[in-house]
Amino acid sequence: MEAATILFVGRIQATQPALNALQKRYHVLLAASGKRALALSQEQPPQVVILDAVSMRTPGDRICQELRDGLKNVPIIHIHPGPKEAAQSRADVLLIAPLSARKLLSAVSRLLQAQDDELVNCGPFAVNPARRVLIVDGQETQLTPKQAMLVEIFFRHPGQTLERKLLMEKVWNTDYLGDTRTLDVHIRWLRKVIETDPSNPRYLLTVRGVGYRLDMNEDGVPDVEVPMPMNA
Q: How confident is the model at residue 123 (pLDDT cuts 50, 70, 90)?
A: confident
215 burial (CB, 10 Å; 0-12 / 13-18 / 19+) is buried
Least confident of 27-36, 86-95, 167-176: 167-176
Homologous superfamily assigned to 5-116: Response regulator (3.40.50.2300)
What's the rounded mean pLDDT across residues 19-37? 92
- Residue spans of the domains in the chain: they are 5-116, 120-214
pLDDT confidence bin for 144, thresholds 50/70/90: confident
Average pLDDT score over residue span 158-168: 93
Task: List the single range of 47-56, 59-68, 107-116, 172-181 with lowest mean pLDDT.
Answer: 172-181
Q: How far apart are CA 16 and CA 57, in angstroms?
A: 16
Q: Dihedral of CA 42/44/45/50: which sign?
A: negative
CA 227 from centre of chain: 28
What pLDDT does 231 receive? 44
Per-residue model confidence (pLDDT) at position 223? 38
90/49 Cα distance (integer angstroms) = 12
The per-residue pLDDT for 199 is 94
In angstroms, how far is the first alpha carbon of the chain from the final one?
A: 28
**For 176-180, 181-185, 199-203, which range has the lowest pLDDT when averaged over its residues?**
176-180
Q: Are 195 and 212 in contact (CB under 8 A)?
A: no
What average pLDDT does range 90-105 have in this prediction?
A: 91
For domain 120-214, give its CATH number from 3.30.1490.20, 3.30.360.10, 3.40.50.300, 1.10.10.10: 1.10.10.10
Name the nearest CA neighbour of 213 among 162, 174, 171: 162
Element (H, E) at 64: helix 61-70
